[in-house]
Every structure is written in C-alpha cells, then in structure tokens.
Amino acid sequence: MVEVSGLERVFSRPKSLLPVVTHYCPGCGHGITHRLVAEVIDELGIRERTVGVAPVGCAVLLYKYLDVDMYEAAHGRAPAIATGCKRVHPDLVVFTYQGDGDFAAIGTAESVHAAVRGERITTIFINNAIYGMTGGQMAPTTLVGQKTTTTPMGRMVERAGYPIRMSEMLATLDGAAYIARVAVSSAKYVVQAKRAIRRAFETQLKGLGYSMVEVLSHCPTDWHMTPLDATLWVEETMMKVFPLGEFKVPKELV
Amino acid sequence: MEKKFMNGNEAIAEAAVQAGCRYFFGYPITPQNEIPEYMSKRMPEVGGVYLQAESEVAAIYMVFGAAGAGGRVMTSSSSPGISLKQEGISYIAAAELPCLIVNIMRGGPGLGGIQPSQSDYFQATKGGGHGDYHLLVLAPSTVQEAVELTMDAFDLADKYRNPVMLLGDGYIGQMMEPVVFEKKPSPILPAKDWTITGAKGRKANLVKTLNLDPVILEQHNLKIQHKLQEMARNEVRVEHYLTDDAEVIIAAYGTVARIAKTAIQILRKKGVRAGLIRPITLYPFPYKAFEDIASRVKKILVAEMSLGQMVEDVKLGVCGRAHVRFYGRTGGMVPSYEELVMETERLVKEAL
C-alpha cells in the first residue's frame, strides 16, 4: 500500500482478519462483528493463542475470515468443542461465534451448561431474530408478530411461543462472569459492542468464568428491508424486546 | 507382574489411563457407570481431566474438541447413550480425530433394559451416524482382553486418525476377573502437526467437516476409505479355537464366545467336533477366516445376544459355500451353553 508522506495512517485492516471478500449479504451485521473480534484479538496481542469455533449458520465459514486456529462445529455444539479444547490447553483463549439457532435453539443445553460450569471460554452470540442461512425461517429470538418463512402470518404466541432472552437467562447463572447485549446498527453501538467484546475476552484472560456478548444484528435480506431500514428496525423494534446493557460484570473488571 | 481383581469397567478405565489417556468426558448410564466413577477419581491423580457433561451429545463434542486439540481422549456410554453420540461420532470420523468410544451394550431398542446385549453390532460396525465412514471396532471377551484392547485402541486411533470403539456387552463391564496391566510400547505414530494449539509461528490450523465442493468431499471420503482398506489389511484380529479338525463351527464374539467355548467342550465329549471362530475386530471384520473355513466346514452356527446382526457379515465371508444358521437371544437374555449345544447338535444332524 502506498503511504502518503506527512500523513499518519489511522485505520487499517486488523492483522487477525484475513484480506478476503466475505460471503455475507450487503448490509449484514456479521462483517462488522467479525472485524470487532479481530480488532480485540489484535489489541490484546493474543492472535497466536486464540482459537475460534465456528457455528452452523451464516457464520459457518468464519474460519475463512479469521487468521487464528479454528474448529468448525456441528450445529449448536460449539461450546462443547470449545470446552474440550480449553481443557486440553487452558492457556489458549477459546471463543465460540454462534447465531440464534445455534446458541439458543439446537445448542441451548451446551450453551447453558458451558455457563453453568463457568467454562473459561467466550461466546459471541449473533441475534438477528431469524434463520439467515436456511432462508429466513423462525428463530428462537423471532419477535412476536414477526413474519418469517415459517411464521407467514407473523409469530403467534399460541403456536410458537415467545422469543428467548439468552442474556437475561445466562446472567442468573453463577458460572457466567460477563454477560452483555450490544448492537452494531450504528457507530455509537459499534463502539459499545467493541468494548463489550473486549471485556468478555478480558474476563476469560483473567480466568473469571464464562463470558458472552449477545450482538443484535441486522439481516436486510431475510427481513426484506433495505440495509438502512434494517438498522432502524434493530433500534426501534428489536431493542424494545432485547434491551441493551451489561447484565453481569465481574468486579475485577469494574 | 501383579494381578488385580477388578470389574471390567474399572479395568477399562485403568487401562486407558495407563495408555496415556488424560481426558475423559461422559454422562452416567447403566451398566457402565464404574468407568466415569473411576475416572473422576483417577484423572486428577495423573493430572488429567474428568468432566461430567450435560448429555452424551455434549460429551462426544468435548471429545471432538479435545481430540482436535491433540489430547488423548475417550468417552464411554451404553447403548441409548451411544445412539445420542452418533451425530458427534460422524463428525469425529469426518474430521479424522483419534479417540476411544466405549460402548458397554445393554438391551434395546428404546430405553430397553440394563441387562447385557450385543444388539448394537450394526450401529457400531456399519456406520451408526450419517455419511461414509466406519469405526475401528474391538470386541473383548474377557476383562484381560478388554484391558489389552483398550490400551491398543489409542495407538490405533492415532495411527489411522480414526475413532475406535471398544464394544463390550454388559457382562464384560460388570464381571470381575484377575487382570494384569502391561502396556506394549507404542509404535511410531504420525506427528500431530494438524492439531489446534494456537497459530504460533505457523499457519493457522483448521479442524472441520464442511466440504461444500462435491469434488473435494468425494476426495476426502475416498481418503477415509483408503485408511479403512489399510486397516483391513493390517488390523484384523480373530481367534480360532479347535477349528483344525472341526466339522461344525460356532461363530461368536464377546461374552457369547466364552459360552460357546464351554458348549464346544461339551460337544466334543459327546463326539461332535465343534470349533469356534471369534472375531476380535468387528470392523475390519475377519471375512477371510470365514472364507477359508467355508472351504472345508459346511455348517456354521452364529450365536449372538441379538436377533441376528453379525450373522450378516459371516454370510458375506462364507459367500454361500457353507450353511449358516443363526441362534440368538435378545432383550438382555443370554444364551446358555445348553442351548448352544442343542442348536449345534441339531445343525450337525441336519441333512444339507
């Protein structure tokens, strides 16, 4: 890259992020979140001892985008795989990156019990209220009334129940040390999200227990919205059901 | 060498520890609970990890994670629990991760019962989970043999980068016998340079099972198949007992093979020249032993604690050149030696 003399370079690709084009749809929140994770890994200086576990879902190809050792897991089983790795190599920094189907439906038992054990791993949980990869079906976090390909009349509570709030649920567990919900819909929220992701990794580095950051993410394709409308829907509709905030912060980080 | 009096489950656990296994992930289920119980005490003594998972599903993926990280790792369960693990076993085979899975079989289907059975033969040897793969399956018939096969299992898993299953019935797990622990020196095993250890001073490693390109997936599956063919050339184990002069053969594995030996002694006293072929590796199956015997013995009785599973492999080996009869008990019932004597005599008397 050409450096212009006299100008300071203030923005570049994180070293932990590979210089490749991703498969994500335009306007998707995954790319932003990937970048935040990579920035945090770089800033903490842990790239050579970080291990990622990719989910089944839109982020299944995460291993193509991050320059760290990685597993690609079965649907929902990432926390169990991360557990196996962490128990063999306690000095590694192990994180899972999972969507709402992976983390909050098919893998709920693995998610909850990783937190119950206080497993020293970190989860980045992407909640976009829909199943992206399979084409827009209902997620466990789909809002009441939200239309998906399997709730064509909108999610009806009599038939499909209510959206699950994983952050609030996991925060009740003694083994969960750091739990936060963030968004990546605008610059302000992206800055907050990065801070939360950093604190989650710091929680693991200090050996304080399980850490999880729930990221409200936008899916313009399966929500059938423009990217701009999708970010507004996160802020005006999703946040009412999934309020942002740090639900649990270890005293060592305060 | 000191002899210890132990039940099969505890002996399997101790053998694993002495073979260098340092990671155990499992979930309680009868009749194999002595394995996790023993490990919960023993692993901390040797600096290893015992973890009681939230389910068999989680346990098998902890094995996936630990094996991918280069650990010598195992899990154990019994039939319904092994069914739960099948998804993970398929992924482990696909990712070519070495590990040991112990199945102390009980009667099924469904919740079934807790008495001994051999009705998971198909599941163990023919796949169990989805996709083109096989486990290397070892079937002990004594507690001592369970110890030896457990010790060998880890080396075999590393040698082929393939999961190994130790398939015992409930008797093998529960029976107490004197055992000696003597680990053979391990062969030179391939370097584990593919494992997840942190990408320090090297390119990042990746443990995965996704191959979206069918050309690549076919190549991957063929690579696995070549390993299995290599196993079939190198690793077949089978015991012949009084087969040299035999006019009739009993084919049985595990506990049933022991019952068959008693039946054969009785039959010989009665003038019937019976012999036993006991497969020790159920996969790769000793087809050649049956192919060879069928050239001179025309009557084979296959005895199992199932409604007829291994009998299909015996028939494949025999390939129509001998008459194959099946006798089995199921649901936790065990064939007596009297039953095997009677069935063998009936087969011998029959005109073909």
Domain boundaries, chain B: 4-189+209-234, 239-349
Query: Does pLDDT of A3 surpass 70?
Result: no
Query: Does pLDDT of A192 surpass 90?
Result: yes
> If you measure CA to CA, which chain B residue comes closest to A46?
B198
pLDDT at B102: 98
* Domains of chain A (ranges, CATH numbers): 30-253 (3.40.50.970)
A143-188: pLDDT as tens digits: 999 999 999 999 999 999 999 999 999 999 999 999 999 999 999 9
- Alpha-carbon Rg for chain A in angstroms: 18
A115/B contact by beta carbon, under 8 A? no
Measured CA to CA, the distance from residue A143 to residue A154 in angstroms comes to 9
- Return the residue matching tokens 């893998």: A107
Supply angle C-alpha B299, B136, B196, rounded to 5: 175
Across A3-143, the runs of DSSP E, i.e. the strands, are 50-54, 69-72, 93-99, 122-127
Measured CA to CA, the distance from residue A201 to residue A16 in angstroms comes to 15
Residues of B contacting chain A (CB within 8 angstroms): 23, 25, 49, 51, 53-55, 57-59, 61-71, 73, 87-88, 91, 196-201, 204-210
Question: Are B66 and A84 inside 8 Å of each other by CB?
Answer: yes
A113/B contact by beta carbon, under 8 A? yes
CA distance A9 to chain B (A): 27
Best A83, A94, A108, A133 residue to mutate vs chain B (most B CBs within 10 Å): A83
pLDDT at A5: 76
Best A42, A51, A53, A133 residue to mutate vs chain B (most B CBs within 10 Å): A51
B123-164: pLDDT as tens digits: 999 989 999 999 999 999 999 999 999 999 999 999 999 999
Query: Does pLDDT of B227 surpass 90?
Result: yes
> Which of A 40-79 lie inside 8 A of B, CB atoms?
47-51, 53-54, 60, 63, 66-74, 77
Average pLDDT of chain A, as a whole number? 97
Query: Chain B partners of A51 at a C-beta cutoff of 8 Å?
Result: 196, 198
Fold of the domain built from segment(s) B239-349: Rossmann fold (3.40.50)
Nearest to A51 by CA among B69, B308, B134, B264: B69
Q: Where are the alpha helices (DSSP H) in chain B?
A: 8-18, 34-45, 56-68, 79-94, 121-125, 143-160, 170-174, 214-234, 254-269, 287-293, 310-318, 337-349
Percent of chain A surpassing pLDDT 70? 98
Measured CA to CA, the distance from residue A188 to residue A206 in angstroms comes to 27
CA distance B137 to chain A (A): 24
Nearest to B157 by CA among B92, B220, B210: B92
Question: Are B59 and A80 inside 8 Å of each other by CB?
Answer: yes
Q: Which helix (H) or strand (E) holds A240?
A: helix A239-241
CA distance A96 to chain B (A): 12
Measured CA to CA, the distance from residue B297 to residue B72 in angstroms comes to 43
How does DSSP assign A86-119, residue by residue? HHH-TTSEEEEEEEHHIIIIITHHHHHHHHHTT-
Measured CA to CA, the distance from residue A38 to residue A17 in angstroms comes to 6
Question: Are B199 and A69 inside 8 Å of each other by CB?
Answer: yes
Question: Are B204 and A81 inside 8 Å of each other by CB?
Answer: no
DSSP A251: G
| Cβ atoms A195, A106 nearer than 8 A | no
> If you measure CA to CA, which chain A residue comes closest to B88?
A74
Which among B55, B66, B210 has CB closest to A85? B66
Fold of the domain built from segment(s) B4-189+209-234: Rossmann fold (3.40.50)
Measured CA to CA, the distance from residue A231 to residue A184 in angstroms comes to 8
pLDDT level of residue A17 (50, 70, 90 thresholds): very high
A175/B contact by beta carbon, under 8 A? no
Question: Are A84 and B23 inside 8 Å of each other by CB?
Answer: yes
> Where is pLDDT greater, at A226 or B351?
A226
Query: Does pLDDT of A4 surpass 70?
Result: no
Question: Are A51 and B196 inside 8 Å of each other by CB?
Answer: yes
pLDDT at A58: 96
Question: Are B206 and A51 inside 8 Å of each other by CB?
Answer: no
Query: Does pLDDT of B287 surpass 70?
Result: yes
Per-residue CA distances from B111 to B29, B84, B164, B165, B173 (Å): 11, 12, 24, 21, 19
CA distance B6 to chain A (A): 29
Best B63, B207, B213 residue to mutate vs chain A (most A CBs within 10 Å): B207
Q: Is A181 helix (H, G, I), strand (E, B) or coil?
A: strand
> If you measure CA to CA, which chain A residue comes closest to B75?
A84
User: What is the pTM assigned to this prediction?
Assistant: 0.97
CA distance B130 to chain A (A): 13
Token duo for residue B245 = 């002069």
Query: Does pLDDT of B34 surpass 60?
Result: yes
pLDDT at A41: 98
B183-198: pLDDT as tens digits: 889 899 999 999 999 9
Query: Does pLDDT of A1 surpass 60?
Result: no
Measured CA to CA, the distance from residue A96 to residue A85 in angstroms comes to 11
Query: Chain A partners of B201 at a C-beta cutoff of 8 Å?
Result: 48
Measured CA to CA, the distance from residue B339 to residue A219 in angstroms comes to 67
CA distance A89 to chain B (A): 7
Contacts of A237 (CB under 8 A, 6+ apart): A143
Query: Chain A partners of B23 at a C-beta cutoff of 8 Å?
Result: 84, 87-88
pLDDT at B1: 79
Question: Are A87 and B23 inside 8 Å of each other by CB?
Answer: yes
Query: Chain A partners of B199 at a C-beta cutoff of 8 Å?
Result: 47-48, 67-69
Best B24, B27, B57, B62 residue to mutate vs chain A (most A CBs within 10 Å): B62
